[in-house]
Amino acid sequence: MQAGNHADRRPLEGVRILDLTRLLPGPLATQHLGDYGAEIIKVEDTGAGDYARSMGAMGGDTSYFYQIVNRNKRSLRLDLKQAEGKALFLRLIEGADVVVEGFRPGVMDRLGLGYAVLAARNPRLVLCSITGYGQTGPYAERAGHDINYIGYAGVLDQIGAAGGPPVLPNLQIGDLLGGTMAAVMGIMVALFDAQRSGRGRHVDVSMTDAAFAHAIFPLAEVLATGRARPRGEDLVSGGVPCYGVYETADGRHMAVGALEEKFWHLLCDTLGRPDLKPGHLARGEVGAQVRAELEAIFGSRSQQAWIEVFDRVDCCVTPVLRLEESLQDAQLRARNMVVDAGAIRQFGPPVHMDRMPWTEPRPAPARAGEDSEAILAALGVEGEELARLRAAGVI
């Protein structure tokens, strides 16, 4: 991959990543890395490939879901169960920096492509394995989804209103915090060390571990009292009046995050209710009374009316937007968080850096293996050999 001028190059230019993952956590992790300049080769099997292509609403030949987590990638079809497919993959390994896979523990070894084999071919290689429960432990071989991972991690139990059941978030905490962002972190840490030491590592990412390791407030409560507070009763889950969601007259909501006393006092003054100031962090009957007062106040005007009030007051009171509104939000637009890749809108890279040029993203590969010939040609596989491999179902 050609690097640009050092003064304006993307920081991961020159890094090559082979991506064996499907669906959400792994593909989004490699897309993030691709946004910062890494070359991503999406290696798909010769059968279904990444079945995210047909999941959910379709935006042309592939689903919107697939398109928004696979930009800036090229696709190679390869049957890793065939000896020749495995041999081609090992040739690609020689020029790669990272392999990302999301199979169950042991699958790569059974394919003859475990970490020891890959590291023997390329000692600097980083292998990142993303699974629900990790490579070890009594649950390692179990199937699971986000709901299962955050359930085991004690996180799902904390989500919801007081007295109600656990509520499923439409932001997959285990998949995204664990399978995506923890994987990106692990890959970058291992890559940094490989550059210094000349040796890669096997990065073992458990989505359950990552969700569990970020349950900060529940752990603080367990350390203090021996048990987590019931959902809806903690400091940031609805247990105090100064931090919560309040319905407006038109059925919309405002988010009140006035945790600091100065913000709470400013909120009370703005509402013309200085008498509520003592109820800042109140719980129990007093807290319920203050919350009821706020509910009545916010329920007296529309969301837009409250936006106009609090846009002028810096006390952490903001609207709860729908995503279609967020896509038009002035702050997110100013930060270039809405970009076009092909014909669809997508989220921009979440971390901004200076001296990093932004170019229009390459759309997700529409067809599995659409870049196979170009990728294999770089290995010297062309003409009759290419035709033979295709006829044999290797590619």
**What are the residues whose beta carbons fall under 8 Å from the beta carbon of 336, sequence distance 6 or more?**
348, 358
The C-alpha atoms of residue 141 and residue 154 are separated, in whole angstroms, by: 20
> Quick one: three-class SS letters along the chain?
CCCCCHHHCCCCCCCEEEECCCCCHHHHHHHHHHHCCCEEEEEECCCCCCHHHHCCCECCCCEHHHHCCCCCEEEEECCCCCHHHHHHHHHHHCCCCEEEECCCCCHHHHCCCCHHHHHHHCCCCEEEEEECCCCCCCCCCCCCCHHHHHHHCCCHHHCCCCCCCCCCCCCCHHHHHHHHHHHHHHHHHHHHHHHHHCCCCEEEEEHHHHHHCCCHHHHHHHHHHCCCCCCCCCCCCCCCCCEEEEECCCCCEEEEECCCHHHHHHHHHHCCCHHHHHHCCCCHHHHHHHHHHHHHHHCCCCHHHHHHHHCCCCCCEEECCCHHHHCCCHHHHHCCCEEEECCEEEECCCCCCCCCCCCCCCCCCCCCCCCHHHHHHCCCCCHHHHHHHHHCCCC
Is 145 labeled as catalytic in the residue annotation? yes
Q: Which of 19, 146, 175, 209 is catalytic?
A: 175
Q: Which amino acid is present at 320?
A: V
Is 6 labeled as catalytic in the residue annotation? no
Q: Closest Cα partner for 115 from 131, 127, 124?
A: 127
Q: Which of 8, 145, 275, 352 is catalytic?
A: 145
Q: Residue written as tokens 């109600």? A: 164
Cβ(42)–Cβ(19) under 8 Å?
A: yes
Alpha carbon of residue 172 to chain centroid: 8
Q: Which amino acid is present at 29?
A: A
Strands 317-319 and 344-347, how do they pair? unpaired
The C-alpha atoms of residue 220 and residue 169 are separated, in whole angstroms, by: 23
Residues recognised as catalytic: 145, 175
